[in-house]
A and B are shown apart, each in its own frame.
Chain A
Amino acid sequence: MANSETNQNDLAVRGESEFLPDGWELICGLEVHTELKTRTKLFCGCANVFGAQANTNVCPTCLGLPGSLPVLNEKALEIAAMIGLALSARVQASIFHRKNYFYPDMPKDFQISQYDIPLNADGHLMLPSGKRIGIERAHVEEDTGKITHLGGTSGRIHGAERALIDYNRSGVPLVEIVSRPDIASPEEAREYVSELRSTLVAIGASDGKMEEGSLRVDANVSVRPIGETPFRTRCEIKNLNSLRSLVRAITFEAHRQVAAYLAGEKVTQQTRHWDESVGRTVALRNKEEAEDYRYFPEPDLVPLRPSEEWIEGLRSQLGELPKERRARLVESLGLTETNDQIETAISVELYPFVRPALAAGLDPKITVARCANELASLAPLDDGFEISWFIELLKMEIEGKVSATQAKSILAEVAKNLIPPRVAQERLGLSQLTDDQLTKTINEAISQNPKEWERFRTGEAQLQGFFVGKIMKATSGKADGKAVVRILLALAEQR
């Protein structure tokens, strides 16, 4: 797995490894499984939905009944290839293999997967920090069923009295994305998964819900003294169900391995289970116990030979990826790097508002700020919330028809009642006063405060605030401050 990218990143590696004792560095690669958002399963017509009653979305094929055969879901293949394209990978001719092992969640006792010739190979993901993480492969495979262990004390396999199997998940399309061991810190692992998740969600491949298991992460972790070239023994950590678990597990495991080496012990190649409740990784099985999967080409499926037209057709459907969205906003705002506002504004929920607003020529700074702050605080937005309303309100604010404070109140009202901003403005009684109405109010203020007016007219500019305050008070804040100043100045000229 060693490659030149790793060496190029050596400097970054040293910088990022400060969480470990001096002189040690982390080497980490991640395997991310993502369930694909398809209507049906990978090899049959059963519905691909989460949360249905157990064993209701099943058929002879996904139950592995004798005589059944798999037929590839073309949509799943398209999404899988789009993942490859989004990760700048090579989408290539490939075949399916059978991975043979006995386990009751695997109805055929083999999994249809890809082995030495995956659909997508040699890609990379650029992190917001600028770090480049290599992607070795992203291949297509079927998910297993789900086992629930009942009885016993721990809810774990050992000691359970019964096991129940739900085959609804059996045959759900998965893409396994295998990174190169380029990840140098737990925080970088979090950043990688987060950016990968955004990318998958942005192209419509996945809903990205780690808590529902639609995104699952295994981490390959090893450590070595800085300056040492060969990799040391790695351990694979499973059961990383959240970004928090991911960071904690890698941190724990790296420290465990360093401690072992410092104590003169060896690290054994193992599969380890992350136990979130106690914050430790626990050995599941050693390499020697690892199964021989007896991979061989799946004879029931034909080889995949994606054409150039097909690939280019998919590329054109990719849309703007998070990295491109980020670059667009950084540039629009005249910045050199991203910030929290931008990261929020490029999310799948908010970017659909940002993009058309910028396209309409609205001020990027106000657009991004309103999205990342006000709009984000109202998330999740109802489907009935129209993008055009947000744009209209931005225009009203930018043109000074409402104040910033008013705009915020109107936005909340729009989101709450799903009404256009002008209607919300009416309801809140925030309709703008006309110039005539304002002039009348200002004249009243002048006649009540003749001395102050005289001083202002003859050059005491600081009295502008005094008058604006009086007008605001008189109009209960409905007046547009900019308009008040404009009229004050005009009146001062006249008299």
Chain B
Amino acid sequence: MSEMNNMSAFEIAESVNNQKVTATSVVEKSLAIAEALNSKLNAFLALDRDGALRAAARVDSIIASGGSPGRLAGVPIALKDNMCKVGLPTTCGSKILQGWIPPYDATVTKLLESEGAIIVGKTNLDEFAMGSSTENSAYGPTLNPVDLTRVPGGSSGGSASSVAAGIVPIALGSDTGGSIRQPASLCGVVGVKPTYGRVSRYGLVAFASSLDQIGPFSSTVMDSALTLEVIAGFDPKDSTSYEEQMGSLSAQKGLSIEGLRVGIVTEFVEGSDPEVVSALRDAADALASLGADVTEISIPETKLGLSAYYLIAPAEASSNLARFDGVRFGLRVEGSNIEETNVLTRTKGFGAEVKRRIMLGTYALSSGYYDAYYAKAQQVRTLIKSGFERAYQQVDVLISPVSPTTAFKLGEKSLDPLTMYLSDVCTIPSNLAGHPAMSMPYALDSEGLPIGVQILAPALREDLMFRLAFALEGSSRGAPSLDASIKEAINHG
């Protein structure tokens, strides 16, 4: 691996701003590695060589003329392919959007580019972000760069894989029930789901509007802090975005956690593999040794999370995905009348998991079933929120496993949706509560697979969450060794 690709985003931006390297050379290298690895990983659905190099040249020319391109100057970044960038196709990993090129930028795209970041491409995902392995992509699965026989997790598998493989220092994902944190854990990188409303959703193709939230993947805690500082903030185009300013996250580095009250969520430990639990205990010990006050805490309401989630998320999805009807964009299978065109287009365009969730959601909202399913699930959501609130009266932050298991084999769970759904049992409650949570790579299992630790914080307290993450980073032994064929490809690249 070259020096440059060991550089964090923070280091790249600093080097580019100080004219030690050019944005063009950084982006060239990133593209070269992406091109070398993508046939193996299938992490990218689109690479924008021309656009990225043009953007890099602009950054270099700003610097040459004495200007300052921003905090992410020259940093190559990948976007999950459910976020819009003008001129690049957005597929959502679905056949139904094949060929659609959005005429507008997502707010996150604009914010990143305004700080000098370079969008190099769009990453693979489970179709419409529905899945936990990236096997549900219509464009084939993404592989885990640590072990190519295993999944990278999902749904933001392409983003996690591309950061873990060192193609880009930062990628954005979206997290509806764990779609950033679980793949971060399975690939051994940092992954952050901010407070719901912290980052604008404008330009993120909706899966479940009340749960979706955009966040970063990175190798270092600092890079995620930096990225979130750039993309967070009120957006007049997103009514659900917060007006409250977020405090500095990067300033949390090096702050003491002495006396910080940390709770281990009992319910999330119960169903997890022993090696995952053991890694969590090690992390807890490390925090205690840094002066944190670590206790166990029970939030029984979280046990209801998975069931509530699989009513609310599909219900919203069934409505959000109605617009893919063959009339205005994407795939169109012509029928003899409009109803037939709708049905043929959707039958051909959507994959099995998406259809399953549309049907679940349609059923949950149907007249006569609404109260028993959707309304009840919303009540459970309120319960979970109050469960967390109770816990946060006793502790400042929570920790838990991210995923009950490490990366599983391709095909291992794809035939059994319920088993697959259980991958997100520890992450879903944060989405239901709207709280921030992140995955920190912390240890490796006996097979060398990454194990993440989840840090959860109250709404709008990303600062506390990052303080703990920075503290934990020092004792992390979670940096995995990449699959031999990936290392080889990088060295030849």
The reply on B54 being an interface residue by CB < 8 A is no
Smallest CB-CB separation from A292: which chain B residue?
B367
CB proximity of A157 to chain B, nearest CB, Å: 9
A110–B239 CB distance below 8 A: no
A45 to chain B, nearest CB (A): 10
Q: Quick check: is A302 within 8 A (CB to CB) of the other chain?
A: yes
Select from chain A the residue with minimum beta-carbon distance to B378. A297
Check: A301 CB closer than 8 A to any chain B CB: yes
Structural contact, A71 and B102, CB atoms closer than 8 A: no
Q: State A102–B318 Cα separation when bound (angstroms).
A: 12
With known contacts A67-B90, A69-B238, A70-B239, A299–B209 Cβ distance under 8 A = yes
Residue numbers in A under 8 Å from B237 (CB-CB): 69, 71
Residues of A contacting B: mostly: loop
Contact assessment for B102 and A67 in the assembled complex, using a CB-CB cutoff below 8 Å = yes
The residue in chain A whose Cβ has the minimal distance to the Cβ of B128 is A66
> Is A98's CB under 8 angstroms from B328's CB?
no
Min distance, Cβ B233 to any Cβ of chain A, angstroms: 15
Q: How far is the CA of A165 from the CA of B327 in the complex (A)?
A: 10
Tell me how far the C-beta of A147 lies from the nearest C-beta in chain B, rounded to whole angstroms. 10
The stretch among A28-36, A57-65, A199-207 that forms the contact with chain B is A57-65
What is the interface residue range for chain B against chain A?
A: 35 or more
Beta-carbon contact of A301 and B239 below 8 Å: yes
CB nearest neighbor in B for A71: B239
Query: Which A residues lie within 8 Å of B322 (CB)?
Result: 100, 102, 108-110
Residue A260 lies at the interface, judged by CB distance under 8 Å to chain B: no
Which A residues are CB-close (under 8 A) to B319? 98, 100, 110, 294, 296
Q: Contacts A65-B102, A65-B329, A300-B209 given; indicate if A100 touches B240 (C-beta within 8 A).
A: no
Alpha-carbon distance between A100 and B362 when the two chains are bound, in angstroms: 10
Given A66-B97, A67-B202, A300-B209, A107 contacting B239 (CB threshold 8 A):
no
| A74-107 with Cβ < 8 A to chain B | 98, 100, 102, 104, 107
List the A residue with the shortest CB-CB distance to B103. A60
CB distance from A269 to the nearest CB of B (A): 16
A492 at the interface (CB under 8 A from B): no
- B144 within 8 Å of A (CB atoms): no
Q: B1 at interface (Cβ–Cβ under 8 A)?
A: no
Whether A294 pairs with B100 at a CB distance below 8 angstroms is no
A100 to B361, CA, bound (A): 12
Are A67 and B83 in contact, with the CB atoms below 8 A?
yes
Contact (Cβ within 8 A) B239 A65: no
A72 at interface (Cβ–Cβ under 8 A)? yes
How distant is the Cα of A138 from the Cα of B191 in the complex, in angstroms?
A: 46
Assess whether A66 is in contact with B239, with CB atoms less than 8 Å apart: no
Of chain A, the residue at the smallest CB distance from B338 is A104
A66 CB contacts on chain B under 8 angstroms: 84, 90, 92, 97, 100, 102, 205-206, 323-324, 329
A163 to B328, CA, bound (A): 13
Given A64-B323, A66-B97, are A292 and B366 neighbors across the interface (CB < 8 Å)? yes
The yes or no answer to B374 lying at the interface (CB within 8 A) is yes
Closest to A104 in B: B327
Asked if B338 and A69 sit within 8 Å, CB to CB, the answer is: no
Q: Quick one: which of B62-109 are within 8 Å of A by CB? A: 82-84, 90, 92, 97, 100, 102-104, 106
- Any A CB within 8 A of the CB of B370: yes
Additional pairs, 8, CB under 8 Å, beyond known A65-B102, A68-B104, A69-B238: A60-B103, A63-B328, A67-B204, A292-B367, A299-B209, A299-B210, A301-B240, A302-B239
B interface list, Cβ under 8 A from A: 82-84, 90, 92, 97, 100, 102-104, 106, 201-206, 208-210, 236-240, 315-316, 318-319, 322-325, 327-329, 338-339, 342, 362, 365-367, 370, 374
9 pairs, CB–CB < 8 Å, chain A vs chain B: A66-B97, A66-B324, A67-B204, A68-B104, A68-B202, A72-B239, A107-B328, A294-B370, A296-B315
Nearest 4 pairs of A and B residues by beta carbon = A109-B322, A294-B365, A299-B210, A299-B209
